[in-house]
Amino acid sequence: MALAEVRSLRAPRQLRTPLEQEDYEQELVDQYALAMAGAGITDKHVSDHRSAVFEFARFVGRPVWTVTAEDADRFLGYLRKDRAQAKTTVQNKAWKLAQFFDFLITRYQGDLHALTGHVVTQPIDEFNRPAKATQGSPRIPPSQDEIDLLFSAWRLALPEARKYLPAARDYLAASLWRRAGLRITETVMLDIRDWRPDLGELGKLNIRFGKGSRGRGPKTRLIPAIDSVNALITWWLTDVRHQFGDDYDDPDAPLLPSERRDRHTGHCLRAGDDALRTGLAGAVERWLPAWNGRLSPHGLRHFCASSLYARGVDLKAIQDLLGHSWLSTTTGYIHVHDDHIEHAWTTANDRVTARLGTGKERSDALESADESR
């Protein structure tokens, strides 16, 4: 059996024809894909990066090691004006290109210069790099009073619901978004075994399908069942879950099941995110109509972060609860009242005054003790 020839990218060669240049460019992109796979990035994320690089290369019509910032200017303008692509789409493509050229510069700049005579530069610079695109208006959540009104009315109406089981399930899901800041996918993928009442003072939820950064797949975390989450899950598992089917004692069964059954096993299927969204939307339309069509599961996640911060929970704790990689992401979830700065200033001054007063009283006591001696 003959062995295929394996050649390193750094092996001596000459690029005499356009076909040889194209093959070499393909090898560079393949090496980039291998590096991302080595970092544990998902196949879909790798494929998206490759597509962005090849789209840019086709637009420029020259090898990637020859492109300039002006080429990137034209490409990003083309995406916005001619293709009418969304801000987030253009932003993501620019970031993918910037990462690819960082890879070329770090690993192959010297080899490319020796081989082609070109010095690779970063075409996505501080002038054309898109700022983080906004998703329309900020997801400012309802007030505490509005959320209390919604969930109080929803809870009282459960016994009279036309279909009690899915209504109770949707209420539990929304309560997890409101109180623990779970993402909807994290909620859907919970199994019964993910509730760990034996951990910590309140019990903990094992989030196995958290959102990983840069396409690195699910990121797990354990979160404490704060803000009455432990009582809600105890109610669910004690009074409701067994009514869905006999799999209530199966640790691998979904915590939030569907009424539909698997035709092979007869066990409950997992509730879908559309069903949970619909449940929240129906409750909002009925009991909080001013927010009809505006309050989403992610909006309740913002409410959770904001309400915890308003109650004095520090940002690092909120970051860990929400599963954010960066504290700057968490700060974007915090929405405070107009008088927040004034209130914080008054509170800080009260603390300073208390410390100074305590110090003065201590000093007076010491002076009195000295005089008595």
| 49 and 110, same domain (yes or no) | yes
| 85 and 194, same domain (yes or no) | no
Residue 294 lies in a domain: yes
Say yes or no to pLDDT of 339 above 60: no
Q: Where is 78: in which H helix or E strand?
A: none
Identify which of 193, 256, 194, 187 has the alpha carbon closest to the alpha carbon of residue 222.
194
Say yes or no to pLDDT of 298 above 70: yes
Residue 53 lies in a domain: yes
φ, ψ of residue 196 to 5 degrees: the values are -120, 85
Q: Residue 144 corresponds to which amino acid?
A: Q
Residue with the two structure tokens 């939820």: 205
Count of C-beta atoms within a 10 Å radius of residue 170: 25
* Spatial contact of 303 and 139, defined as CB atoms under 8 Å apart: no
| 272 and 173, same domain (yes or no) | yes
**Confidence label for 147 from pLDDT (cuts 50, 70 and 90):** very high
Q: What is the pLDDT of residue 325?
A: 86
| 171 and 286, same domain (yes or no) | yes
Between 153 and 351, the higher pLDDT residue: 153
Say yes or no to pLDDT of 320 above 80: yes
Q: What is the mean pLDDT of residues 239-255?
A: 94
| 305 and 156, same domain (yes or no) | yes
Q: What is the mean pLDDT of the chain?
A: 87
Q: What is the pLDDT of residue 348?
A: 67
| 288 and 160, same domain (yes or no) | yes
| 224 and 95, same domain (yes or no) | no
| 198 and 281, same domain (yes or no) | yes
Say yes or no to pLDDT of 12 above 60: no
pLDDT in tens, 173-229: 999 999 999 999 999 999 999 999 999 999 999 999 888 766 667 889 999 999 999
Between 88 and 136, the higher pLDDT residue: 88
Q: What is the pLDDT of residue 158?
A: 97
Domain that holds residue 234: 144-332
pLDDT in tens, 72-112: 999 999 999 999 998 889 999 999 999 999 999 999 999 89
| 180 and 320, same domain (yes or no) | yes
The CATH number of residue 234's host domain is: 1.10.443.10
pLDDT in tens, 34-47: 998 888 788 888 99
Say yes or no to pLDDT of 276 above 80: yes
Between 130 and 239, the higher pLDDT residue: 239
Bridge partners of residue 281, in order along the sequence: none
Q: What is the pLDDT of residue 318?
A: 95
Helix (H, G, I), strand (E, B) or coil at 86: coil
